[in-house]
Amino acid sequence: MAANNHDDLNLPEALSSAEYRTRLATKLNCLIAVLEVAIAKIARSMELPGANEERLLKIRGNLENTLSICHRAKQTLERSQPTPKGQRAVAQPAEMSARDYVELSSIDEYRKFRKMTPISKDEIQTIDFEDLTRRLLDS
């Protein structure tokens, strides 16, 4: 890589360049796709007889952690779009972060929750909190 590519990363104005942001988003999307394919291959390899499960689990964990970091970087890039002068920034919906992923049991659970929409005010108003409390205490 050319030296000026590294210089661009140190400049805050680099992210205001639409061309730079597009290249960065493309690289992130490619890396995400590669990581997802690698995770799928690890899952298939674990099903083979004689597979070193301990090693494959460690590799899969590292790939999943890297994938969650890439998703977080992509979300940050998307949320930090420069706002044209004279316009107000529009709040983006809350999305899952790498921190949220750590609290989940698997990459599949992370993907499931990442695709879910936020709970609406109407849904909150219909909650029976006494029943919810009772169910949580019983579990």
Residue 90 tokens, joined: 């529009």
CA distance 85 to 97: 29
Asked if 96 and 63 touch (Cβ cutoff 8 Å), the reply is: no
Q: How many residues does the chain have?
A: 139
From first to last of the 139 residues of the chain, give the pLDDT tens digit: 444 444 444 445 666 778 888 888 888 888 888 889 999 999 999 999 999 999 999 999 999 999 998 888 888 888 776 655 554 444 444 555 555 656 667 777 777 877 888 778 888 788 887 887 888 788 7
According to DSSP H, which parts of 1-139 are helical? 3-10, 18-46, 53-79, 98-102, 107-115, 121-125, 129-138
